[in-house]
Structure 1
Amino acid sequence: MYTHDNHIQLPSDPDTIVWKYMDLSKLIDLLLSGKMFMSRSDKFEDQYEGTFSEPTYEEIKKLSADNPGFLEYYKQHREQVVISSWHLNEYESFAMWQIFTQKQEGLAIQSTIGRLQKALAPENQFAQYIGEVNYIDYKKEYIPFDNTFFPFLFKRKSFQYEREVRIITDVSGFDMKIDNGLKIDVDICQMIEKIYIHPKSENWYKNLVIELVKRLGFDFGIEKSDLESDILI
C-alpha cells in the first residue's frame, strides 16, 4: 500500500531521476528474488537515524512526563521501520561511486520517482512512503512528530551530499521481528530503467553483468559509466 502525506516532500515531476549504487551480489539478489532489501532504521551507520532534533526531543520529554510510554514507543518504532535509500541526481555522481562501490566493480541502478512509486507492489500490506530527506541543524531545528514517518525523513546537514530519497516501510502493525532488514516485493522491470557499470571497470566485468542480466531474463539497458571516458585534448 503506497501512501503519501502532504508534509512529505517529493519532486513533483515523476521523471525526476534517482540512483542506487550497489555491488554485483546485491543486484543478483534483487533480480533472483524479485524483492528489494530494506535496512532496519536503527542499523544505519548514522546513530541519529530515526531520532529527534533537540528542540523536538525537549517537547517530547514534556509530553512523556504524563505518558511514560511515549518515548519508549519511539525507540521501539525504529526497530519496526525499514528503509531503502536512493540518490536524487540528474547525473551519476563520482562521490557516490567512491562511497558505495568497492574497488573498480560496482553498479548503479537508474530509476525515476514515478517508476519507484509504480514498483511498490500494491499487495504489500505495510504502510509505505516515498519521501525526500530534509537536512537540518539538529541543535536548533524542529522535526514535526504528528506523523510517525517524519523522524526518518530528517538528517543532519553534514549528510546533505547524499541528496537522499527514501522508500520507508512500517511493519509495526504486524507481529514481525526484523533483524537487519526486510525484503519486500517490487516490480523489478518498473524499478530499473537502466544499469550503469563502474567507470573504472574492465570489459570482462561489463560483459559478465550483461550476460548475467540476460540469463536471468531481463533486458534492461546496460552501459558503462562514461565518467572515465577518454579526454579530448
Structure 2
Amino acid sequence: MGKITIGVNKDLKIKRYMSFSKFESLITSGKLYFSRFDRFPDKLEGGISSQNYPDVSTSLELLDLALNYRASEPPSSEKSQLEERIHKVDHDTFQGLFGSEKKINGDTYLKLISTWLYANCWTDLEHECEAMWSLYGITGVGCSHDDCCTQCESTHGMSVCIETSVGSILENLVLDERYNLSIQKVEYIDHKKTKFKDSELNTKPFFSKARHFSYENEIRFILWPDRADISFSYAFGQSTTNEENSVELKIKSMNSFIHKIILSPIPFKKSVEIRKSHNDNYQSSLGLQESLSNKTLRKKIESLCFENSVNVEIVDSDLNQSITNDCYTYAEHLTSAR
C-alpha cells in the first residue's frame, strides 16, 4: 500500500469549480479524476528555480570537465583533482520523488518527473470566487479556443461548485495501493528567486505554483506510483516511460463525499437584462434575487442527482445577491440572513 501524507486539517472545508459536463461525469462514473501533471497548461508546475538547478544536475560540472580534462596528459596534481571531480560527478545524488537520484541524470529527471504525477485540485477559499467561476466553470480550463469562446459560450451559467472537506474526500476515496497520496496546501512562489532546501526537492516543487495564481488558494491532492524501479537516464531512450494519462479513484458514497452543490451565477448579459426588466416592472429590487436564481441549471442538477441517488443540498450562488435600496429589500435581506 502506498504512503498517505496529509499536511492540512481534515476538517478543512474545500471547494471545486467545474463545468456541468465534468460534474455529470463525476456523478455518473462515481470516480474522482486525477490529471497528469504534464497536461497542465501552466508549464511552471512542478518546476524548480535556476538557483536549485546545481542541486539536481551536474551538467555544468560535466561541461567544465569536458573543456579542461585531457586523458592523455601525464599524471599531475591538477589531473588528479580533475579525476576526483569526475568520480564525484559520477556519484553525486539528490533526493528525488522516487528516492535517491544521480545528479548526472538530473536534466532528464527535471524533464520527465511531471509525467509521473497526477493531481486533483481544490480551493479552501471560504467565499465564492468570481474568477474561479470564469476559469473553471466552463468547458476546458479558462478559454483558449481560437474562435473567441463560442465553443464555451453555451456552458456559461451551467457549472457548479461542490463543497466538501478534506476528511470527507479521504473517507470516501477507494485508494489504489499502487499509488502514494499526499494532500498539501499549495505555496505560491517566485520561480526566479525561490530556492528549495535539499530536503524539500523530493516533493515541495509539486506543491508550489507561480505567485500569479495565488488567488486560487489551492489545496492539492497528488498521486504518484509507489515504485522503486522508475529510472531517469541521461542516455537517450533508457528512461522509464509512463503510459497512464490519468488516474481515477472510485468514490464510496457520493452523498457523504459532497456536502453542498452551489449553482453558478447566471451569465452577465442575462443578469443585466433580468435586473433591468425587474426594476422597470417593480421599481424595487424586492424579489430580484429570486429572479436571478439559476432555475434552468437547478432543474438539470436535481434531475441528475435523482437519477443517481444523490441527495445533497443545492444552493444558489452568492453572486446573485441584489443591493439593499429600500425598506422592502432591507427586510428581505434580513429574512434571508436568518
Of the three residues 178, 182, 185, the one matched with 1:132 is 185
Deviations 1:41-75 (A, max 9, x none): 01111111111122112322248852422331342
- Unaligned 5+ runs, structure 2: 62-88, 90-102, 139-155, 231-240, 267-292, 326-338
Give the counterpart letter for 1:138 in structure 2: H
What TM-score do the two structures reach when normalised by structure 2? 0.62
Higher strand share: 1
Contact in 1 for aligned 2:178/2:226 (Cα 8 Å): no
Identity %: 25
Higher helix share: 2
Deviations 1:138-158 (A, max 9, x none): 111112454533221011111
Question: 2:251 matched to which residue of 1?
Answer: 186
Matches within 5 A, 1:28-43: 28-43=24-39
Deviations 1:174-205 (A, max 9, x none): 885123x2222233334311111112163122
RMSD of aligned residue pairs (Cα, Å): 2.3
Of the three residues 206, 211, 223, the one matched with 1:152 is 206
Structure 1 consecutive aligned stretches of length 4 or more whose deviation exceeds 4 Å = none
Question: 1:107 matched to which residue of 2?
Answer: 160
Deviations 1:196-227 (A, max 9, x none): 11121631221111111111111111112132
Counting matched residue pairs gives 227
Question: 2:4 matched to which residue of 1?
Answer: 3
Q: How many angstroms does 1:33 deviate by?
A: 1.5
Question: 1:61 matched to which residue of 2?
Answer: 57
Q: Is the alpha carbon distance of 1:145 and 1:88 closer, same or farther for their aligned partners in structure 2, counting shifts above 3 Å? A: farther
Distance 1:165 1:158 in 2: 16
For the pair 1:83 / 2:119, whether they are aligned, the reply is yes
Contact in 1 for aligned 2:57/2:105 (Cα 8 Å): no
The alignment partner of 2:17 has SS state of strand
Contact in 2 for aligned 1:2/1:120 (Cα 8 Å): no
Give the counterpart letter for 2:105 in structure 1: G
Q: Is the alpha carbon distance of 1:91 and 1:144 closer, same or farther for their aligned partners in structure 2, counting shifts above 3 Å? A: same
Matches within 5 A, 1:12-51: 12=9, 14-51=10-47
